């Protein structure tokens, strides 16, 4: 588990490097994308708990207690599950996702209170124009491909673990800390879906060359995690 947590941190660092070349409108206190609908893996919850020190973890829990969201986006499939469905020609429904359902309770005065340890689902939010102006994120297609590839690898790293709404996962954090991959099936069926290994990377032909180095680096990280167990 500790090894996977460390590899996850390496993946986050690589993600920041890979996205640094894009010009974005994202700025401090621009936080319309910080909703109650963000998703994450169980491993990322374990990572947050592992990295937060002092009373920071208790502060996160306290913020959740007062959140009171009755409706959140709860994904029916993971990114790799979507890739598999595409490969098998399945067209599966997805849950509704509406930002008006609420703001992330970890946001304070427009600033994320756990910014350095936030999950990939938060990190992938970017836009070349302010979302408030256009009403949606404006994302270059290459950036979309890169974020999708990272989502696939982070899920792969936690294959057998769970994926779901970030706030739901935080609510069940004690279980992930003990054993990420051993999370109760009953709970998976209720609220979470199971992470899968990568069936195939979702990279369009025009982006294969541009993402080659990223894919190779991510592959090395995964192999490192598998060799150390």
Which residues, at least 6 apart from 45, have a Cβ–Cβ distance to it below 8 Å? Answer: 119, 169, 170, 172, 173, 176, 177
138 vs 201, beta carbon nearer ligand SF4: 138
Per CB under 6 A, 18 contacts ligand SF4: no
The phi and psi torsions of 159 (rounded to 5 degrees) equal -55, 135
Q: Are 187 and 172 in contact (CB under 8 A)?
A: yes
CB of 173 to ligand SF4, least distance (A): 13
CB of 220 to ligand SF4, least distance (A): 28
* Binding-site string for ligand SF4 from residue 103 to residue 142, where x marks contact by CB under 6 A and - marks none: -x-xx----x-x---x---x--xxx--xx-----x-----
Distance set, CA 18 to CA 158, 171, 192, 218 (Å): 21, 31, 29, 11
Per CB under 6 A, 40 contacts ligand SF4: no
Which residues, at least 6 apart from 194, have a Cβ–Cβ distance to it below 8 Å? Answer: 78, 160, 161, 162, 163, 188
CB of 200 to ligand SF4, least distance (A): 28
Q: How many angstroms separate the CA atoms of 15 and 131, rounded?
A: 21
33 vs 193, beta carbon nearer ligand SF4: 33
Kindly indicate which of the ranges 13-21, 22-30, 54-62, 214-222 contains the residues binding ligand SF4, using the contact rule CB under 6 A.
Answer: 22-30
Give the binding site for ligand SF4 (CB under 6 A): 25-26, 30, 32-34, 38, 104, 106-107, 112, 114, 118, 122, 125-127, 130-131, 137
């Amino acid at each position: 588990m500790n090894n996977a947590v460390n590899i996850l941190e390496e993946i986050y660092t690589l993600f920041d490097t890979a996205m640094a070349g894009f010009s974005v409108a994202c700025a401090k206190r621009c936080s319309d994308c910080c909703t109650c609908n963000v998703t994450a893996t169980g491993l990322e919850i374990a990572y947050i708990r592992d990295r937060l020190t002092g009373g920071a973890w208790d502060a996160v829990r306290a913020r959740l207690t007062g959140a009171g969201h009755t409706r959140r986006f709860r994904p029916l499939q993971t990114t790799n599950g979507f890739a598999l469905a595409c490969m098998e020609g399945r067209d599966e429904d997805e849950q509704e996702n509406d930002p008006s359902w609420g703001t992330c309770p970890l946001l304070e005065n427009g600033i994320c209170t756990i910014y350095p340890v936030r999950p990939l689902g938060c990190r992938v939010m970017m836009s070349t124009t302010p979302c408030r102006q256009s009403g949606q994120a404006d994302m270059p297609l290459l950036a979309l491909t890169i974020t999708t590839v990272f989502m696939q690898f982070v899920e792969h790293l936690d294959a057998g673990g769970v994926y779901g709404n970030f706030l739901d996962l935080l609510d069940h954090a004690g279980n992930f800390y003990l054993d990420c991959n051993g999370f109760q099936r009953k709970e998976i069926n209720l609220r979470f879906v199971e992470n899968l290994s990568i069936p195939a990377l979702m990279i369009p032909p025009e982006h294969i060359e541009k993402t080659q180095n990223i894919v190779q680096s991510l592959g090395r990280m995964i192999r490192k995690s598998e060799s150390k167990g």
